[in-house]
Amino acid sequence: MGESSEHPIALTIGTAGHVDHGKTTLVRYMTGTDTDRLEEEHRRGISIVPGYAELELPSGRRASLVDVPGHERFVKNMVSGSTGVDAFLLVVAADDGVMPQTREHLDVLRVLGVETGVVALTKIDAVDEETVELAALDVEELLESGGISAPVVPVSGVTGEGIERLLGALDTLAADPTDSRSGGLARLPVDRAFVLKGIGVVVTGTLWSGEIRPGDILHTASGHRPRVRGIQNHGRPAEVAYPGSRTALDLAGVEASQIEAGDVLLSQPMPQTRAFDARLRLLEGAKPLAHGVRVRLHHGTRATNARVRLFGRGELAPGDSSLARLSLEEPLVLLAGDRFVLRSLGPQVTVGGGKILDTALKGRKPEPGWLEALERGDPAGTIPLALARAPHQGMTAADLSLSVSVTPEEVAAAAENNPELTSIGSLYAFTTEVEAAKERLLQALRRRAQERAEDPLLSVAEARVATGLSVGLADALVLAMSAAGEIRSTDAGIGTPDAGEIPPELEREAEKLLDELRLWWSQPPTMEPTPALRLLLKRDEAVELGGTFFASREAAEGVLEEIKTACREEGGISLAGLRDRLGTSRKFAQAWLEYSDNQGVTSRTGDVRVLTRRYR
């Protein structure tokens, strides 16, 4: 437990090398673990699937070793095992020298961005010194051609000769804290999923980023939400799975049939991607790659067929690179910055690979300028470009982290150093956009205050509709502007700072109108609902009759009294009866009777109104 908290970013080392060159033997010598777990591996004397062991280094630091198979038929398993490793342990048998999968594995590692490591020149007990020297030269040449520098250590996995030096060299390797660029997202590509009797569903993998703790709810791409019951790291219970660590999870809430090797467990739901834009690199030894060709794409512990579309060229030459769009036959959970490996479909060999630049294509045409900026990876350049794609919305630091592969700190620094960027609430947006949005919001509120001085508040939703702001930006603006006193925010809605105070002119107008209504009494003229009238209605000083007549509250009460009296005296009142009592026209009598019905004073039986029970 002590060790893991001292080294929260775990070092993961992946073996590499041609079949039978002694990878598993070396791992067993160094760790005491036989990584060939399968009966078939023992029977055939070769590794088939990746195996895992813990290695204690001379400094006391612990590393995870991933032992991959060397046979050419299992390169796909090697690719899956090598995903998430920080460094390589390339094993070359001194009696055999550099062989095809020595090269192919090194190619895969380079494509995956794993360029540091150590070479073990093994089986030195079985050959003379001269053969060891020749093999060493062979290896040096291979490394040089790949532009890689790594110590070459002669060893024997049988006698243990040279192992101490090898461990010393491995101890100098650094783990890559890849975590911060994914905004804290935990991602675990599953390499094994099985059922343990008495425990349940167990999955294993190398945690790419983020942290996982018991009790966490994780998400699969197919929508399952397993809960983490327990965590193990190399067979020991662990409180936390740290980025880079070898992780076994005991899961609740998921059936064995719902999760398999190749799935990705995530700390938050993520959309799957069917196409992405990338920088694609073709290996020196590969055949030219034609526009439109189908290939096998390996990402994490998953592989799918894909079609390659090269941007602005018909063919990619060996050793060359191009921006390209890859369309997948099966969707995958991908993030900008992820590496992928491409293998040909015909003879299945590794032909190249690359780095994902953009997964959020949304049907857009390729934009080389944008992709080149993403590729340069300079936050000061990419953040404005990302914002420019939906300028009215703004983006959170987490959105930006996921879409252009920057850390939240880089987002904050970029916003601080660039006056064109502003942070508002949890959003980042262009200063001009924020200013314009503020102005639009204020205008909408001022317009409302003018048109409806008696009811000047808008709900946030109404304000959004009126201004066309996104939900996130509207909420952030409302919070920021009300905190700054630029708008007034109440439970009833938002308004200009002085919203709710009735302008004196309107007050005077309303008073004048009320006087007129009182004079007209039961026979008001038809009128439009002006602000002054609406203010009287809101204050209950005026009432509405059938939508076209408005009378003073006193007149309405007087008329209702008249109706009640008539009913009590005569048992009911007809239209003509009320017309005569009020000395008015049928039109007004009709409107008042309907008003009386609506107020629950009378109800209609035939041509006559009678008092409702309440007023009898």
Ligand X SMILES: Nc1nc2c(ncn2[C@@H]2O[C@H](COP(=O)(O)OP(=O)(O)OP(=O)(O)O)[C@@H](O)[C@H]2O)c(=O)[nH]1
- Within 47-106, the residues that bind Mg ion by CB under 5 A are 47
User: Binds 219, which of Mg ion, ligand X, none (CB < 5 to 8 A, cut-off by type)?
Assistant: none
Contact 486/479 with Cβ under 8 angstroms? no
Q: Which of 12, 24, 83, 102 binds Mg ion (CB under 5 A)?
A: 24
Q: Per-residue x/- marks for Mg ion, 272-311, CB under 5 A?
A: ----------------------------------------
Cβ proximity to ligand X, 154 vs 354, nearer residue: 154
Encoded tokens for 585: 């026209």
Nearer to ligand X (CB atom), residue 40 or residue 141: 40
Stretch that binds Mg ion, among 18-26, 259-267, 327-335, 338-346 (CB under 5 A): 18-26
Q: Which does 21 bind (CB under 5 to 8 A by kind): ligand X, Mg ion, none?
A: ligand X
Residue 382 near Mg ion by CB under 5 A: no
Nearer to Mg ion, 24 or 31 (CB): 24
Q: Which is nearer to ligand X, 91 or 139 (CB)?
A: 91
Question: In Å, what is the CA distance from 1 to each residue of 8, 228, 241, 242, 300?
Answer: 11, 19, 11, 12, 28
Verify binding: residue 23, Mg ion, rule CB under 5 A: yes
Question: Hey, is 52 helix, strand or coil?
Answer: strand
Q: Where do the H-state alpha helices sit in 418-470?
A: 431-451, 460-467
Please give the backbone phi and psi of residue 567, each rounded to the nearest 5 degrees, phi first.
-65, -45
Which residue shows structure tokens 């590729």?
Answer: 375
CB nearer to Mg ion: give 47 or 267: 47
d(Cα 596, Cα 598) in Å, to the nearest integer?
A: 5
Least gap, CB of 234 to Mg ion (angstroms): 19
Q: How many other β-carbons are positioned within 10 Å of the β-carbon of residue 505?
A: 11
Q: Tell me the one-letter amino acid at 217.
A: I
Whole-number minimum distance, CB 119 to ligand X, in Å?
Answer: 14
Contact between 21 and Mg ion by CB under 5 A: the answer reads no
User: Residue written as tokens 């630049």?
Assistant: 357
427 binds, among ligand X, Mg ion, none (CB under 5 to 8 A by kind): none
Token pair for 141: 């040449």
20 binds, among Mg ion, ligand X, none (CB under 5 to 8 A by kind): ligand X
Contact indicator for 526, 533 with CB cutoff of 8 Å: no
Residue with Cβ nearer Mg ion (23 or 299): 23
Q: How far is the CB of 172 from ligand X (least distance, A)?
A: 23
Size of the site for Mg ion (CB under 5 A): 3
Report in angstroms how near the CB of residue 403 gets to ligand X at its nearest.
39
The one of ligand X, Mg ion, none whose footprint includes residue 260, by CB under 5 to 8 A per kind, is none
Q: How far is the CB of 340 from ligand X (least distance, A)?
A: 24
The sheet carrying 395-396 orders its strands as: 395-396, 427-430, 421-424
Which one of Mg ion, ligand X, none interacts with residue 531, CB within 5 to 8 A by kind? none
Q: How far is the CB of 96 from ligand X (least distance, A)?
A: 10
Among Mg ion, ligand X, none, residue 209 binds (CB under 5-8 Å by kind): none
Beta pairing partners, 391 = none
C-alpha angle 27-30-31 in degrees, rounded to nearest 5? 80
**Residue 40 Cβ vs ligand X, minimum distance, rounded to whole Å:** 12
Distance CA 32, CA 26 (A): 10
Q: How far is the CB of 19 from ligand X (least distance, A)?
A: 4
Q: Which is nearer to Mg ion, 24 or 467 (CB)?
A: 24
Q: Which is nearer to ligand X, 158 or 412 (CB)?
A: 158
The option from Mg ion, ligand X, none interacting with 71 (CB < 5 to 8 A, set by class) reads: ligand X
User: Cβ of residue 167: shortest distance to Mg ion, in angstroms?
Assistant: 19
| Identity of the amino acid at 391 | P
Measured from the CB atom, the residue of 19 and 578 that comes closer to ligand X is 19
Binding site for ligand X (CB under 6 A): 17, 19-25, 46-47, 69-71, 91, 122-123, 125-126, 156-158
How many residues are there in the chain? 616
Q: Which is nearer to ligand X, 38 or 256 (CB)?
A: 38
Strand ranges for 234-349 from DSSP E: 236-237, 246-252, 264-266, 273-282, 289-290, 294-299, 302-310, 315-316, 321-332, 339-344
25-37 burial, b if ≥16 CB within 10 A, otherwise e? bbbbbbbebebbe
By a kind-dependent CB cut-off of 5 to 8 A, residue 95 interacts, out of Mg ion, ligand X, none, with none
* Residue 23 or 464 having the CB closest to ligand X: 23
- Rounded Cα distance between 315 and 288, Å, is 7
Q: Give the β-pairing of 542-545 and 493-495.
A: unpaired
Residue nearest to ligand X (CB): 70
E strand or H helix at 403: helix 397-404
Of 300, 301, 297, give the one whose Cα is nearest residue 274.
297
107-116 burial code (b ≥16 CB/10 A, e <16): bbbbbbebee
Number of helical (H) and strand (E) elements in the chain, helices listed first: 19, 30
SS3 letters across 279-291: EEEECCCCCCEEC
Out of Mg ion, ligand X, none, which partner does residue 158 contact, by CB within 5 to 8 A per kind? ligand X
Q: Cβ 261 to ligand X, closest distance in Å?
A: 19
Q: Parallel, antiparallel, or unpaired for β 395-396 and 315-316? A: unpaired
The binding track of 30-49 with respect to Mg ion, each residue x by CB under 5 A or -, is -----------------x--
As given in the structure block, the two tokens for residue 239 are 């409180």
Of ligand X, Mg ion, none, which one does residue 502 interact with (CB within 5 to 8 Å by kind)?
Answer: none
Give the span between the Cα atoms of 238 and 216, in whole angstroms.
14
> Rounded to the nearest 5°, which phi and psi values hold at 481?
-75, -35
Residue 531, SS3? helix
Q: Which two tokens stand for residue 538?
A: 């809101």
User: What's the min distance (Å) between Cβ of 143 and ligand X?
Assistant: 19
Cβ-based nearer residue to Mg ion, 47 or 273: 47
Q: Which does 299 bind (CB under 5 to 8 A by kind): ligand X, Mg ion, none?
A: none
User: Would you say 40 or 420 has its CB closer to ligand X?
Assistant: 40
Task: Choose the contact partner of 80 out of ligand X, Mg ion, none; CB within 5 to 8 A by kind.
Answer: none
Q: Which residues bind Mg ion (CB under 5 A)?
A: 23-24, 47
